[in-house]
A and B are shown apart, each in its own frame.
Chain A
Amino acid sequence: MSSGGGGGTPPSEDRILGAFVGLAAGDAAGWPAARHRSLRLAPWSRRLYRELDAFAEERQVTTLPVPFALNQPVEPLALGPSDDAEWLAWTATTIHEDRAEAFGRLVERDDLRARISVWSALDNLAAGLGPPASGHDNPHFFDDAAAVRAVAFGAAGMDPVADARVTNSGDGVLGAVAMATAVGALVRGAPMREAIDAAVGALPEDSAIGLAARRAVAVAREHGDPFAAVPALDAALLGHVYSYGVAAAETVPIALALADAAMSSVSPSASPSSSSSASSSSSSPVGPSGGAFGAAVSAAACLASVADSAPALTGALAGAYAGHAALPEGWRAAARTLTGCCLPEMAGVDLLAVARALASDHGTGSPA
Chain B
Amino acid sequence: MIDPLSPRDRARGCLLGLAAGDALGAPAENLTPETIAARWGVLVEIEGGGTDDTEYTLFAASLLLRHGHALTSDDVAEAWRTEIVARLDGPMRGAGFSELGTVQALRLGLRPPLTGRWHPHGWSDGLAMRAAPYGIFAAGDPDEAARLAEIDGRVSHGGEGVLGGRAVAAAVAVAMTGAEPGDVIDAGLRAIPADSWTARCVRKAVEIADAQGEGSSREEFARALHDAVVVKHYPWTDLAPEAVALAFSAYIRGGGEVEAAVVTAANLGRDADTTAAIAGALAGAGTGEAGVPARWARRIGPVHGRCLPVVAGRHVLDVADQLADRLAERLGLTGRHVEGT
* Residue ranges of A at the interface with B (Cβ–Cβ < 8 Å): 116, 119-120, 123, 129, 133, 136-140, 142, 170-171, 206-208, 211, 239-242, 244, 247, 249
- B270 is an interface residue with CB less than 8 A from chain A: no
In the assembled complex, which residues on chain B have CB atoms less than 8 Å from the CB atom of A207? 117
Residues of chain B within 8 A of A208, CB atoms compared: 114, 117-120
Pair A136/B233 contact, Cβ less than 8 Å:
no
User: Which 4 residue pairs across A and B have the least CB separation, nearest first?
Assistant: A119-B233, A137-B197, A139-B234, A241-B100
Cross-chain contact B200 with A133 (CB below 8 angstroms): yes
- Nearest Cβ in chain B — how far from A341, in angstroms? 18
- Is B120 in contact with A247, judged by CB distance below 8 angstroms? yes
Which residues of chain A are near B117, meaning CB under 8 Å?
206-208
Report the minimum CB–CB distance from B166 to chain A (whole Å): 17
Q: Provide the bound-state CA to CA distance between A191 and B172, in Å.
A: 57
Determine whether the beta carbon of B119 is less than 8 Å from that of A239: yes
List, in ascending order, chain A residues with CB within 8 A of B236's CB: 139
- By the criterion CB–CB under 8 Å, are A242 and B200 in contact? no
Q: How far is the CA of A170 from the CA of B110 in the complex (A)?
A: 19
Interface size classification for chain B: 20 to 34
Q: A170 to B159, Cβ gap below 8 A?
A: yes
What distance in Å separates the Cβ of B313 from its nearest Cβ neighbour in chain A?
28
Q: Which residues of A contact B97 (CB under 8 A)?
A: 241-242
Judge if B123 is at the interface, Cβ distance under 8 Å.
yes
Interface of chain B residues 45 through 80 with chain A (CB within 8 A) = none
Q: A211-B114, A241-B119, A247-B120 are in contact. Are A123 and B100 (CB under 8 A)?
A: no
The interface centre, meaning the residue of B110, B114, B195, B201 with most chain A CB atoms within 10 A of its CB, is B114
Chain B residues within 8 Å of A244, by CB: 120
**A211 (CB) vs chain B CBs: closest residue:** B114
Verify A120–B200 contact, CB threshold 8 A: no
The answer to whether the Cβ of B140 comes within 8 Å of any Cβ in the partner chain is: no
- The distance in angstroms between the C-alpha atoms of A247 and B200, with both chains bound, is 25
Given A139-B239, A240-B104, answer yes or no on A116-B118 (Cβ-Cβ < 8 Å): no
Q: Mask for B88-109, Cβ within 8 A of A = 1, else 0?
A: 0000000001001100100000
Task: Report the separation of the CA atoms of residues A191 and B143 in the bound assembly, to the nearest whole angstrom.
Answer: 51
B232 lies within 8 A of chain A by Cβ: yes
For the A-B complex with A139-B234, A170-B159 known, give 5 more contacts whose Cβ atoms are closer than 8 Å. Answer: A120-B232, A207-B117, A208-B120, A241-B104, A249-B120
User: Does B231 make an interface contact (CB < 8 A)?
Assistant: yes
* CB closest residue in chain B, given A212: B118
Q: Give the contacting residue for B118; candidates A170, A211, A240, A242; CB below 8 A.
A: A211
**What CA separation (Å) do A240 and B105 show in the bound complex?**
11
Query: Shortest distance in angstroms between B225's beta carbon and chain A's nearest beta carbon?
Result: 15
Residues of B within 8 A of A136 (CB): 197
**For the complex, what is the distance from the CA of A123 to the CA of B229, rounded to whole Å?**
11
Q: Is B241 positioned at the interface, with any CB of A under 8 Å from its CB?
A: yes
B101: chain A residues within 8 A (beta carbon): 239, 241-242
Bound complex: CA A244 to CA B121 (Å): 10
- Whole-angstrom distance between the alpha carbons of A142 and B119 in the complex? 10
Determine if B305 is an interface residue (Cβ-Cβ < 8 Å). no
8 A-B residue pairs with CB within 8 Å: A137-B201, A137-B241, A142-B120, A206-B114, A208-B118, A239-B104, A242-B97, A242-B100
Question: Which residues on the B side are within 8 Å of A206 (C-beta)?
Answer: 113-114, 117
How far is it, in angstroms, between the C-alpha of A211 and the C-alpha of B110 when the chains are bound? 10
Q: Mark B209-233, 1 if CB is under 8 A from A, else 0.
A: 0000000000000000000000111
Per the bound structure, the CA–CA distance linking A139 and B240 in Å amounts to 10
Q: How far is the CA of A123 from the CA of B195 in the complex (A)?
A: 18
Which residues of chain A are within 8 angstroms of B123 by Cβ–Cβ distance?
139
Q: CB-nearest residue of chain A relative to B241?
A: A137
Are A123 and B232 in contact, CB atoms less than 8 angstroms apart? yes
Q: Which of A123, A129, A133, A242 has a CB less than 8 Å from the CB of B233?
A: A123
Instruction: Known A137-B241, A239-B119; judge A116-B233 contact (CB<8 A).
Output: yes
* A137–B193 alpha-carbon span in the complex (Å): 13
Asked if B100 and A120 sit within 8 Å, CB to CB, the answer is: no
A85 to chain B, nearest CB (A): 22
User: Could you tell me if A116 and B234 are in contact, using CB atoms closer than 8 angstroms?
Assistant: yes
Measured CB to CB, the closest approach of chain A to B102, in angstroms, equals 10
Q: Which residue in chain B gives the minimum CB-CB distance to A244? A: B120
Provide the bound-state CA to CA distance between A123 and B197, in Å.
14
Q: How far is A208 from B115 in the complex, measured between Cα atoms in Å?
A: 9
CA distance A241 to B113 in the complex (A): 19
Residues in A whose Cβ lies below 8 Å from that of B201: 137
Residues of B within 8 A of A140 (CB): 234
**CB-nearest residue of chain B relative to A240?**
B104
* Cα-based distance from A136 to B236 in the complex (angstroms): 18
A64, B97: Cα distance in complex, Å: 29
Task: Out of B113, B231, B239, B241, name the residue touching A123 (CB < 8 Å).
Answer: B231
> What is the CA–CA distance of A242 and B234 in the complex, to the nearest angstrom?
14
CA distance A119 to B234 in the complex (A): 9
Residues of A contacting B113 with CB < 8 Å? 206
Residues of A within 8 A of B159 (CB): 170
Report Cα–Cα, A249/B118, bound state, in Å.
8
| A211 / chain B contacts, CB cutoff of 8 Å | 110, 114, 118
Q: In the complex, what residue of chain B is closest to A241 when comparing beta carbons?
A: B100
Shortest beta-carbon distance from A145 to chain B in Å = 12
- Tell me the smallest distance from the CB of B145 to a CB of chain A, in Å: 25
Which partner residue on chain A sits nearest B121 by CB separation?
A242
Q: Is the CB of A139 within 8 A of B231?
A: yes
**Whole-angstrom CA separation of A175 from B195 in the bound complex:** 23
Instruction: Kindly state the separation between the CA atoms of A242 and B121 in the bound complex, as whole angstroms.
Output: 10
Q: Smallest CB–CB gap between A134 and chain B, Å?
A: 11
Query: Which residues in A have their C-beta under 8 angstroms from that of B195?
Result: 133
In the complex, chain B residues whose CB is within 8 Å of the CB of A123: 231-233
CB distance from A317 to the nearest CB of B (A): 23
Chain B residue nearest to A143 (CB atoms) is: B120
Of A129, A239, A244, the most chain B CB neighbours within 10 A belong to: A239
Complex alpha-carbon distance, A102 and B261, angstroms: 43
Cβ distance B138 to chain A, nearest Cβ, rounded Å: 27
| A-chain residues with CB within 8 Å of residue B119 when the two chains form the complex | 208, 239, 241
B200 and A137 form a contact (CB under 8 A) = yes
Residues from chain A with Cβ under 8 Å of B118 in the complex: 208, 211, 249
User: B119-159 interface mask toward A, CB cutoff 8 Å, 1 = contact, 0 = none?
Assistant: 11101000000000000000000000000000000000001
